[in-house]
Structure 1
Amino acid sequence: MENTANKVVMISGANRGIGLAIAENLLNENYRLSLGVRN
Structure 2
Amino acid sequence: MWILRKILHPMDTVQAAEFLIDRLKLTKTNDEFFSSMSQKK
Compute the TM-score of the two structures, normalised by the length of structure 1: 0.40
Report which of the two has the higher share of helix: 2
Give TM-score scaled by structure 2 length: 0.38
Higher strand share: 1
